[in-house]
A and B are shown apart, each in its own frame.
Chain A
Amino acid sequence: MQKTQAEEALGMELPTRRVESFHYTDLRTMLREIPDNASGSTGGNYAPLVDTHLLSFNDGKLADDQVLPKGVTLSTDVAKATSSDINDAIVGMNAVTSGDAISLVIEGNATMEKPLGLGHFSSNESRNACYHKVLIKAGSEAQVISRHTSKDGVASLANTVTEIELEKDAVANWFVIQQESISANRLARINVSLAENAKLNLFILNAGGKLVRQEVKVDVAGEGAHVDIKGVNLIGDDAHIDVTTVLDHNVPNTTANELFRNVVAGNGHGVFQGQIKVAQIAQKTDAQMACNTLLLTDDGDFSAKPELEIFADDVLCAHGATVTDIDDDHLFYLRARGIKEKTARGLLIKAFVDEVVEEIGVSEELEEAFIGIIDSWLDKNA
């Protein structure tokens, strides 16, 4: 097979749909050409969503005006992770693309007053890749907002690889807020490992971007660990948004709960691949996964692949997936009460996704901010 411009530029092979984990996102075809490495910002900087202890990355470069809370140690002396496995193509691309790598060590209750912010902004048609390595020490708790934005109309290609290690009893409340411009592409991977009784609460909100692939890989490696992943994917016209999660249960007595709600408008393509793996020794695993989709138009499509791979017998694992349009009965109920069809549809879509945000249990300020993002997307797209 002849190499594409992108493959030449990166010096690596990109996965096609023949690679099972990229079945619905043929990276090789969708990214035949990629822009050059970023050579610095060409105007505009990251604008925060809420007040945070901010680390901002403009076109992959860490800005030096950070003010960190007590208990958080920053280091820039980190090597990026790399992988030659085709399934880890995003990690491989991250390693060969320009952009800063940082490591954070979080101790105590460092982010109690206000969350830690990792703000990303792409200002021009170039590619950048950040790498974040985060260690949350035993018994510590951290709240982190990792947000991704770009200048309107630029066809940037951003890549973020995040590695989070949770020590014993540590808690991570991690929010991924993706609001790239509708012409920007973003590839991301989050790897999490959990020690004994650690808790991961991950929330993913996708409300922008052209080609977006968010991978999440969780290694549940400590007994009593709990994983909670919730997400809202708003897939607009021309967008291709893929969320792929793998939960690897490797020890007994762990629990996981995964819920995604998706809305597809225009001719958007939505993808959800969720895999729950339970190793033979991981008895008493309780893992549940649900993925519900509202497909608003016949031009859009949604593909779901919720997988269970189970080698232990004493487990409770379940997944459910639905794809449908707005329920006629619900619509009728509202219309019978004098609400216009358009308004009624809007209300029902909003209720469908807001429910997830309400369930994550965050501060009022954050909840309002997240719902605000959803509302403005719905105004424009649905």
Chain B
Amino acid sequence: MPAVQETIDTVAQLDVDKYKYGFSTDIENDMAPKGLSEEVIRFISAKKEEPEWMLQWRLDAYERWKTMDEPEWARVDYPKIDFNDIYYYAAPKNFEDGPKSLDEVDPELLKTYEKLGIPLKEQELLAGVRRHDEPSQLDENPSDNVYASGRVAVDAVFDSVSVVTTFKAELAKSGVIFCSISDAIKEHPEIVKKYLATVVPVSDNYYSALNCAVFTDGSFVYIPEGVRCPMELSTYFRINAENTGQFERTLIIAEKGSYVSYLEGCTAPQRDENQLHAAVVELITMEDAEIKYSTVQNWYPGDENGKGGIYNFVTKRGDCRGDNSKISWTQVETGSAITWKYPSCILRGDGSQGEFYSIAVSNGAQQVDSGTKMIHLGKNTKSRIISKGISAGRSSNTYRGQVSAHKKASDARNFTQCDSLLIGDQCGAHTVPYIEAKNSTAQFEHEATTSKISDDQLFYCMQRGIPEEEAIALIVNGFVKDVIQELPMEFAVEAQKLISISLEGSVG
């Protein structure tokens, strides 16, 4: 019974360390002065060797941010953030001059990658065992090179800088640009200028404006016309230094007829202070293009009493600009003390499609306010929302979503299902959907349920000799199956483990 064994192993592991990514790496950091000011923004821009237009853009965003108020509508409760008590830039010092080759990578950092669970092949690459163009010794069939399964190109962002991007050369062969956003600003300014902040405008919201002013790094992906990206692209985000905020910026552009699948993972050390993470992710799909964006969010959630943990205030939005394009968001949210995140789709092109699959697990004192927006502007646009919320402990878990059809969005179609599962009587589960139809041919369906694990289901399992904790894990896995199956294979396994880890101790 491998499944049972796996559950037992997982549970056994937990007794030792619950949040296994809670290590911090002792690396000397190069930091900007604490606090937020024009000087700090100039400092960041100078560090990044940015062109003048970028600096001006940042300063402009900062001016706008100063006039904005922190939003209070979300169902989350936290002490006011002192934006002057945060370091806005922290870079591992050893990379000051930029690594010339991977051999120069600090071994401490490599250990970090190992702990981060970066796939073996990439570690091998990172460790300098082989070069980009050499086949891996781990490949059974070395000739089966570029399209070999299990290959993932990784961009690792450590505090404020992107430390390494793998498989760059191989990707370049098919015309794919995959690099850090700082490199993109320097090397492909024309593309960045054209698309940056066109999906999430600078003053879209408080945190997006803040991000525009101080963003430090993130990934940039450009898939040229007609190209199916030969491998999965992935970014690992890690907040390491104390009292720092991480402000990443990701921009993905899929030209006509192209396809890319992008994965994102994140972890942070266990610290008593709260750390701020305010990212902006923009996706753009042209005609017939498709972007699949998957996230496994596992920031440090704070301890049982709600001490410490990451404040995750993220703006993610995709723009289906071309006809028949598609953007699909899949997220597994298990970490963060506070999550404030609404990956959305603007369905502008006729026949475009948006999808949102989400599992949000909250335990301890975590607070989650997450959901999506599907803005139907084009004709025959379709969207699908499947949201599964699981709350345990003393946590609060809110789904907040908006589905709207513009007057011209004839035959827009939406199906929304949000189910909440409550484990224990100290937690809360809330559903706040906004449904706005301005076109008579639009067809919107929304359904939501909230319940606990049914006694009948539990009895059925236990009667067959499955202990309670395992039975619950089994039922929960069934509850989230609709979403898990949307995840890329490697992530699906990780996500399932994460969910059982997050719920550990919530039974009984």
Contact = CB atoms under 8 A, between A and B. Distances in A.
Contact of B428 (A303, A311, A316): A311
Contact of B446 (A309, A314, A321): A321
Interface in A299-356: 299-325
Contacts of B307: none
Nearest to B435: A304
Contact of A293 (B407, B422, B430, B437): B437
Contacts of A298: 407, 410, 438-441
B433 interface: yes
A275 B448 CA distance: 13
A295 B447 CA distance: 19
B329 to A, nearest CB: 22
A283 interface: yes
B447 A318 contact: yes
Contact of B452 (A311, A313, A323): A313
B124 to A, nearest CB: 47
Contact of A315 (B424, B430, B435, B451): B451
Given A280-B425, A310-B420, A305 B452 contact: no
A314 B450 contact: no
Interface residues of B, number: 35
Nearest to A304: B435
Contacts of A304: 433-436, 446
A128 B321 CA distance: 52
A126 to B, nearest CB: 34
B391 to A, nearest CB: 9
Contacts of A293: 437
B90 to A, nearest CB: 37
A283 B425 contact: yes
A20 B75 CA distance: 12
A297 interface: yes
B444 A322 contact: yes
A300 B433 CA distance: 20
B428 A301 contact: no
Contacts of B446: 304, 306, 319-322
Nearest to B417: A320
Contact of B433 (A20, A280, A283, A306): A306
A307 B410 CA distance: 27
Contacts of B434: 23, 303-305
Given A307-B432, A323-B435, A313 B423 contact: yes
A324 B444 CA distance: 6
Contacts of A306: 431, 433, 435, 446, 448
Nearest to B443: A324
B449 interface: yes
Contacts of B429: 308, 310
Given A280-B426, A298-B407, A315-B452, A308 B431 contact: yes
Contacts of A89: none
The secondary-structure label for the interface of chain A is strand
Given A298-B440, A314-B452, A324-B442, A305 B420 contact: no
B40 to A, nearest CB: 32
Nearest to B425: A313
A295 B440 contact: yes
B360 to A, nearest CB: 15
Interface in A1-53: 20, 23
A296 interface: yes
Contacts of B437: 293, 295, 301-303, 323
Contacts of A320: 445-448
B442 A319 contact: no
Contacts of A311: 427-428
Given A295-B440, A323-B442, A20 B73 contact: yes
Contacts of A303: 434-437
Given A307-B432, A310-B429, A322 B449 contact: no
A297 B407 CA distance: 10
B451 A321 contact: no
Nearest to B448: A319
Contacts of B448: 306, 308, 318-320
Nearest to A20: B73
Contacts of B438: 298, 300-301
B442 A316 contact: no
Contacts of B430: 307-310
Given A302-B437, A317-B450, A323 B432 contact: no
Nearest to A18: B73
Contacts of A296: 440
A305 B436 CA distance: 9
A256 B438 CA distance: 30
Nearest to B396: A311
A307 B440 CA distance: 24
A295 B428 contact: no
B202 to A, nearest CB: 22
A322 B428 contact: no
Interface string B445-461: 11111111000000000
A313 B427 contact: yes
B314 to A, nearest CB: 22
Given A306-B448, A312-B425, A314-B425, A295 B432 contact: no
A293 B435 CA distance: 11
Contact of A301 (B426, B431, B436): B436
Nearest to B397: A310
Contacts of A309: 428, 430
9 contacts: A300-B438, A308-B450, A309-B428, A312-B425, A318-B449, A319-B447, A321-B435, A323-B444, A324-B444
Nearest 10 pairs of A and B residues by beta carbon? A313-B422, A323-B437, A301-B438, A308-B431, A304-B435, A321-B446, A318-B449, A324-B443, A317-B450, A313-B452
Given A293-B437, A316-B450, 5 more contacts: A280-B425, A298-B438, A304-B434, A307-B433, A315-B450
